Chain A
Amino acid sequence: MNWFQRLSKTGRMEKELDGELRFHFETQVADKINAGLTEAEARRATRLEFGGLEKIKEECRESRGTLWLVSIVQDLRFGTRILAKSPGFSVTAIVVLALGIGVCTLAFSLYNIAALQSLPVRDPATVVRIQRRSPGNINPGVPYASIAYYRDNAKSLSAVMATMRASPLVLNQDEQRVSGTFVSSNYFSELGGSAATGRLFDAARDDSASVPVCVLSFRLWQRKFDGDPSIVGKAIRLGGKPAMVIGIASETFASLGTDNPDLWLPLLQHFYFVEGSKPLADPNFGGLIGMWGRLAPGVSRSSAEQELLSLTNQLRNIYPAVIWDREYIVITPGAHFLSFEGGPPVLALVGLLVFLILAIACANLGGLLLARGAARQREIQLRFALGARKLRVFRQLLTENLLLGLLGSVAALPVSYGVLRLVLVYSNAPSWMSALPDWRVFLFTTAIGFVAALLFGLLPTLQMVRRKKNRSLWNQFVVCAQVGASCVLLILAGLLVRATLHTLYSDPGFGYEQVLSIDPGMSGHGFASAQAQAYLDQLQNRLRAVPGVTLVSTARVPPLVNTMVMFTSIDVDGRRIMIYPNWVGPEFFQTMRIPLLRGHYFHNGEKNAVILSESLARKRWPSEDPIGKQWEKSNDVVVGVVGNTRAMELNNTDATEIYYPPTADDFPAMSVLVRAAGDPNTLTPTVKAIAGSIDTGLYPTITPLTAGFRKNVSQVEQIATIISLLGSIAIFLAVVGLFGLVSYAVSQRTREIAIRLALGANRLEIFSAVLRRFAWPVLLGLVAGVATTAGLSRILRRGLYGISGLDPISYMGAMAILLAILAAAALLPVRRAFQLDIARILHFE
């Protein structure tokens, strides 16, 4: 018989065990009667000799070895009954756990989708991302010349793919632009993509020679063309250039990486769509071409890296200027949405916050369990009296906790699923991403359920079994931990909310409301410097003539618009200062309304001059006049000091900026800024018409700076909302926990309170006597929470718009709110104790 058979025959074995012992008992009685005792005496004597019949049975069962399984089933059944008997406790516990575990599951699900799940492409395990590194450089892109060389020579790669994002394209005459990605012609076939209708790019056909073509995403097809299949074979206009739609990618097709474009274009036709561009021919092309590959069968990533390294060294002979010093190739798994190499601090921060919430949930549940343990003391003592062993009772209580933990996990799954669905829909995620939990999520959630059960259950249970009266140390630890953790979340929430308000209602240091930015996108079209300068001059002159336009200028980095921000740094007395550089035209400061504090603005055509922001001037020369000083070993002389702006970093009031006059190299990258007398949006059509008419090959992007500002702010708002939500969950949990703990403390001292009341004690005195032992842990928790947050806020620094990481209002506010809520949670059980029937309590004991 194996253990399973034994388990399934438990009923028969029980009967046999009973029969066997009964036989022994009866035979012994019969022998005693034979020896001359009366039957009553014989039975009594035998029973005494036998001792506990149940205890013998239990030991027999145990020596059989299957007991652990049988007893777990038993314990589970018993646990279910116990939980069903007190639904109030059970529901609270499960809600608390569902929140704590749900947040963990949600965070893990997101991580799972982004980094663990493979993209639904053919043979995802062999798809790799290929990037170049050197000790001094990190660049996700690879020059096309290198890609082609690797493609033709690498034996460890069975295929090489290239992708390159296009700047947003005008589709037909739509106001809203669409996103596009240029891909190598083997892209779809290598990834095993299929067409919903029509065909996809085909490595066998040479699309570069044919008419310009494109493949639409399923999403764009539905949105713009209502899923009309007759669009295939027709021409659409992209950036004013006709292109034939050859097909629609299927709905489930997954692009590599985070790319989720509206349409795909052949990389070989890049020169057609972006006029004047030569990314394929020019090895010095600065654009970002991503390189992907498929490992040949049986080749490992490291051996492929080895081979590519030797190819890189051959490449250095062909393009000495392109290959970096000591350049090497890094190959990472490619079939994931994101890859977290080296674990950035943000991942650790999120992990920590999420674990904090679980810890708070568990600590609070521990408090509730303690209060319950007091109520169950009689039951447990009775079991010990009946001969139960400590370990057995401990195991039974542990099973109950595990059951709770698992129920919490089960309840957490729908919570996490619901939120995740909202997140995916809201963030316009690729359609292959599913909120449905996969096996990893199930496994994780179950494991977290177990971890939670151990966290909340182990110590209270141990103390329950040990039958110790004094549990105050654990109580105090729990209070300390939950106050600390709630404190961290509340302060963070406060900081972020304050930061959002600050960004919204404070002066960014420049006037952005009435300014339009016009990015002609000349560098992408291969404009030379002189050509670009001519275009800029012409555009500015014509714009100045438009009624309603007050000022026109140029800047290489128009504020608030760019997603990419440049910075550089200098060292002053060993301290590193981060500086945002910008290259601006003469009237930039007037256009942006940045005040001049000293010196003068740039003159027309002024060279070798720099203008510093006030904060930079102060940091560089704290006690000297910066005007006329030479700037950092260059030929540039400081000619002016202007007010601080938060143009590049809205979160930093102390941002340090340096302005240069544009050089020839800057012209193709410049944007034009226009200040309107009234609403800038009314100017948009005129500006668009002028910008388009000067050079029909260009499709300028026109953005009101207010839009950029709103976009920046809304990101902060979202983060603040999420953190506030987490903070309020933490408070809810803390209230549950403290309520449980104070109830417990009161229940332990009910008799004392009753006697004191009977003797006429002052209620306030009793109140403070009960709560006094919570004072120190609360204080300690506050201190620990403040210290932790102060540490964490250094990481958050960049997200805190204009607020110091040690903002006193946020800290004081959070502590005040926390204390008020804690006081309310503590007051309730104590008040209840005062309403007790004194006489009854004293009788009861």
Chain B
Amino acid sequence: MTPCTSTRHRVYVEVIGMSTASKFELPQGTLDLLILRVVALGPIHGYAIAQHIQMISKEALQIQQGSLYPALHRLENKNFLVAEWGPTETGREAKFYRLTAKGRTQLKTETESWERLTEVVAMILQHPLGEPA
């Protein structure tokens, strides 16, 4: 996880597919990681980022606007992303985000630490001794 992620920003996502849509807290910094991953594919605007995450996660994650945009601005502020205005396929002007070199490095380190974290967490959860008595 990045140490500089602010604790103030709690990210809520809606989990679709349960009987009732309930909110759960995405671990800190995870949304930033997802955004960086999506933006790494090429210049993309905010709406498309949300759509992409929703699509790739097979509708399991739906990013709220109230979480997405503050995150985008935060990442831009940290110089992980840069933005440019340009036309979309429908001809409207939109703000397109692109990864910077710094952002690419950040994506790499964050991905690695995420993988290690999930590995370790899974290891402990799946270990027989980890079962509660």
Residues in chain A within 8 A of chain B (CB atoms): 16, 19-21, 23-24, 26-28, 30, 49-52, 55-56, 59-65
**Closest Cβ–Cβ distance, residue B81 to chain A (whole Å):** 12
Q: Could you say which of A21, A62, A63, A64 contacts B65, with CB atoms under 8 Å apart?
A: A21
The answer, among A28, A51, A56, for a CB contact under 8 Å with B70, is A56
* Selected interface stretch from B92-100, B102-110, B113-121, B123-131: B92-100
Cα distance A291–B10 in the bound complex, in angstroms: 71
Q: Mark B69-92, 1 if CB is under 8 A from A, else 0.
A: 111111011000000010000101
Indicate if the CB atoms of A23 and B94 lie closer than 8 Å: yes
Could you say which residues of chain A place their CB within 8 Å of the CB of B6? Answer: 63
B74 contacts which of A30, A51, A63 (Cβ < 8 Å)?
A63
Cβ-defined partner of A23 (8 Å) among B45, B50, B64, B72: B45
Q: Which listed residue (B69, B76, B90, B95) contacts A56, Cβ 8 A?
A: B69
Residues of A within 8 A of B74 (CB): 63-64
| CA–CA, A51 and B69, complex, Å | 13
Contact at A63–B47, with CB atoms within 8 Å? no
Q: Is the CB of A20 within 8 A of B69?
A: yes
Q: Is there contact, CB below 8 Å, between A19 and B95?
A: yes
Residue in B closest to A50 when the chains form the complex, CB atoms: B65
A residues near B94, Cβ cutoff 8 Å: 20, 23
A24 with B77: CB separation less than 8 A: no
Q: CA separation between A820 and B77, bound complex, in Å?
A: 63
Instruction: Contacts A21-B65, A28-B47 known; list 15 others, CB within 8 Å.
Output: A16-B85, A20-B69, A23-B45, A23-B46, A23-B93, A24-B46, A24-B69, A27-B90, A49-B65, A51-B64, A56-B65, A63-B9, A63-B71, A64-B74, A64-B76
Can you list 19 A-B pairs with a CB-CB distance of less than 8 A? A20-B95, A23-B92, A23-B93, A24-B46, A24-B47, A24-B50, A27-B90, A27-B92, A28-B47, A30-B90, A51-B66, A56-B69, A59-B9, A59-B66, A59-B69, A60-B69, A60-B70, A61-B73, A62-B70
List chain B residues, Cβ under 8 A from A49.
Answer: 64-65
Q: Within the complex, what minimum Cβ distance (angstroms) separates B8 from chain A?
A: 8
For the complex, give the distance between the alpha carbons of A52 and B90 in Å.
27
Report, nearest first, the 9 A-B pairs whose CB atoms are least far apart. Answer: A63-B74, A59-B70, A63-B70, A60-B73, A24-B47, A20-B95, A63-B73, A27-B47, A23-B94
Nearest-CB distance from B94 to chain A (Å)?
Answer: 5
Give B34-87 interface residues, CB cut-off 8 Å to A: 45-47, 50, 64-66, 69-74, 76-77, 85
Indicate the size class of the contact surface on chain B.
20 to 34
Q: Chain B residues with Cβ under 8 A from A56's Cβ?
A: 65-66, 69-70
Query: For the complex, would chain A's binding face be called helix, strand, loop or mixed by DSSP majority?
Result: helix
In Å, the complex CA distance between A36 and B90 comes to 19
Q: Which of A26, A28, A55, A62 contacts B66 (CB 8 A)?
A: A55
How near does chain B come to A26, taking the closest CB pair, in angstroms? 7
Q: Min CB distance, A48 to chain B, in Å?
A: 12
Residues of B contacting A50 with CB < 8 Å? 65-66
Q: How far is the CB of A762 from chain B (nearest CB, A)?
A: 56
Q: Which of B1-28 contact A (CB under 8 A)?
A: 6, 9
Please report the C-alpha to C-alpha distance between residue A20 and residue B46 in the assembled complex, in whole angstroms. 8
Closest to A57 in B: B69
A354 nearest CB across to chain B (Å)? 42
- Chain A residues whose CB sits within 8 angstroms of the CB of B69 once the complex forms: 20-21, 24, 56, 59-60
Interface centre among A21, A50, A60 (most CB of B within 10 A): A60
Q: Which residue of B lies closest to A62 (CB)?
A: B70
Question: What CA separation (Å) do A59 and B66 show in the bound complex?
Answer: 8
Distance of A62 Cα from B9 Cα, bound (Å): 11
Q: Are A65 and B66 in contact (CB under 8 A)?
A: no
What separation, in Å, do the CA atoms of A837 and B24 have in the docked complex?
54
Cβ–Cβ < 8 Å partners of B77 in chain A: 63-65
Residues of B within 8 A of A61 (CB): 73
**CA separation between A65 and B71, bound complex, in Å?**
12
Asked if residues A19 and B66 are in contact (CB atoms below 8 Å), the reply is: no
Contacts of B46 in A (CB 8 A): 20, 23-24
